[in-house]
């Protein structure tokens, strides 16, 4: 999986890389500069010491002049002044020599065909050099850490208005007609331009939602009259003694479809009213009241189909909800279970946080679970004659009311819809 850093992480990474580049170049430059300067100073010092020794005329004077950390050798020298093999072939100038664990700085000079070598133990120099390397390394690491901290603080400061704008845009009240514009809260910079773009987009979205609500409300209202005509006509036809068995079954199917369409129209109308700000004037009821009402309506068709209806009322909570919308959610889930269950049971379980509707039908294939809440998505035709709008409406109502619905498989087969009405439990 490709790494996709956030904007904050990108800023921090940019600061860290910049610090690595600048501090690294500075550290390398400092190490190189100190190395060159110390080499030149050592060369000058050893050169002066060697010049002073060359002015001596006797070995006794040579023995007295070198410091305790220095060794003096020359061609043809005797005893301690004899020229060692490791420096016999070394050219003139400054060198570093290693003898086992010890290392020396050496200055070599040729005078009248004779080689003179002055060695100086560099243990003190190495200690100072190692200390300098540690200081440079610590400073380098501290600079990188400080750069990361500064990058994080700067990212928080820079992205604070962007995060605030994102929270405002996600707020549900931004879709209301009276929602204030976002742009006046921000400076006329890039974030302000983004706020202006959001204002324009949200304005178009509000207009679209308003037109949709008006259309849904008008259509739902106008459809009720022809549906009432269809329902009454079906009742009259069913009362006719001349209607044979096949024709009676067709009329009953028309009557059932008319009832479902009437409930669907009523749901659309209630949802349009809720979205237009009329939710405060809608009837309120507890979950237990709505569940008892829906069970009284659906018990007969469920049991007439040969199914067992299990009802687990739980504790009667006093929280009240939008009764028409809660009725639509629970009714659609019970209708869906009745449509797609041929044998077994349907179970309604009330909890303190919401409710669940479980059936023992064939269930919903895993490939359709992600799209089952989309409009006109339904199961196979052999297991029901719904329109494929019930679950879409349920999802829309839950999103409108701040409820949460999810689909789970039931054991050994079937499905379970869980609706959470209160997320604080």
Query: Reduced to 3 DSSP states, what percent helix, strand and coil does the chain have, rounded to the nearest 5?
Result: 60, 15, 25
What pLDDT score does 371 carry?
Answer: 75
Q: For the chain, what is the radius of gyration of the CA atoms?
A: 45
Q: Report whether CATH 3.30.450 matches the domain 7-145.
A: yes
Beta carbons of 408 and 358 less than 8 angstroms apart: no
What pLDDT score does 68 carry?
Answer: 67
What pLDDT score does 347 carry?
Answer: 94
Three-state DSSP class for residue 177: coil
Three-state DSSP class for residue 408: strand
What pLDDT score does 377 carry?
Answer: 60
**CATH class of the structural domain 283-425:** alpha beta
What pLDDT score does 383 carry?
Answer: 46
What pLDDT score does 384 carry?
Answer: 47
Nearest to 346 by CA among 392, 292, 300, 309: 309
Which architecture does CATH list for 174-281? Answer: Orthogonal Bundle (1.10)
> Over the chain (425 residues), what is each successive 10-residue block's mean pLDDT?
74 87 86 78 80 69 64 77 79 80 82 83 77 87 90 87 84 74 86 88 82 71 80 85 83 83 75 61 85 91 92 83 88 89 92 92 77 65 53 85 88 88 75
Q: How far apart are CA 295 and CA 313, in angstroms?
A: 11
What pLDDT score does 306 carry?
Answer: 92
Question: How does DSSP classify residue 5?
Answer: -
What pLDDT score does 2 carry?
Answer: 63
Q: How far apart are CA 90 and CA 115, in angstroms?
A: 9
What pLDDT score does 63 carry?
Answer: 56
Burial of 83 (0-12, 13-18, 19+ CB in 10 A): middle
Contacts of 101 (CB under 8 A, 6+ apart): none
What pLDDT score does 381 carry?
Answer: 43
Nearest to 398 by CA among 230, 267, 302, 207: 267
Burial of 419 (0-12, 13-18, 19+ CB in 10 A): buried
**Residue ranges of domains in the chain:** 7-145, 174-281, 283-425
What pLDDT score does 290 carry?
Answer: 92
């Amino acid at each position: 999986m490709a790494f996709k850093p956030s904007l904050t992480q990108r800023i921090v990474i940019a600061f860290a890389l910049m610090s690595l580049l600048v501090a690294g170049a500075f550290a390398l430059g400092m190490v190189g500069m100190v190395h060159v300067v110390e080499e030149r100073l050592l060369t000058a010092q050893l050169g002066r010491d060697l010049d002073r020794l060359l002015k001596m005329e006797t070995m006794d004077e040579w023995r007295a002049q070198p410091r305790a950390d220095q060794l003096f050798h020359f061609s043809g020298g005797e005893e301690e002044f004899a020229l060692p093999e490791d420096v016999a072939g070394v050219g003139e100038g400054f060198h570093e020599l290693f003898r086992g664990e010890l290392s020396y700085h050496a200055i070599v000079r040729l005078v009248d065909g004779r080689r003179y070598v002055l060695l100086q133990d560099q243990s003190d120099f190495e200690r100072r050099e190692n200390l300098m390397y540690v200081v440079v390394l610590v400073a380098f690491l501290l600079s990188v850490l400080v750069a990361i901290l500064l990058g994080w603080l700067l990212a928080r400061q820079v992205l604070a208005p962007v995060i605030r704008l994102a929270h405002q845009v996600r707020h549900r009240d931004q879709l209301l007609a009276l929602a204030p514009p976002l742009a006046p809260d921000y400076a006329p910079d890039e974030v302000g331009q983004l706020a202006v773009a959001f204002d324009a987009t949200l304005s178009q979205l509000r207009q679209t939602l308003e037109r949709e609500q008006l259309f849904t409300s008008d259509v739902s209202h106008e459809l009720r009259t022809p549906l009432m005509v269809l329902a009454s006509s079906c009742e009259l036809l069913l009362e006719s003694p001349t209607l044979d068995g096949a024709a009676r079954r067709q009329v009953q199917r028309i009557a059932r479809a008319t009832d479902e369409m009437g409930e669907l129209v009523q749901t659309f109308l209630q949802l349009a009213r809720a979205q237009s700000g009329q939710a405060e004037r809608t009837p309120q009821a507890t979950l237990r009241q709505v569940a008892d009402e829906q069970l009284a309506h659906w018990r007969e068709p469920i049991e007439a189909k040969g199914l067992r209806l299990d009802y687990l009322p739980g504790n009667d909570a006093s929280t009240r909800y939008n009764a028409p919308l809660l009725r639509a959610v629970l009714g659609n889930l019970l209708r869906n279970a009745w449509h797609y269950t041929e044998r077994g049971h349907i179970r309604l379980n009330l909890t303190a946080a919401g409710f669940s509707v479980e059936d023992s039908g064939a269930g919903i294939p895993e490939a359709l679970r992600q799209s089952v809440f989309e409009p006109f998505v339904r199961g196979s035709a052999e297991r029901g004659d719904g329109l494929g709008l019930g679950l879409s409406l349920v999802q829309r109502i839950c999103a409108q009311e701040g409820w949460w619905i999810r689909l789970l498989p039931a054991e050994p087969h079937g499905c379970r819809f869980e609706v959470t009405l209160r997320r604080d439990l």
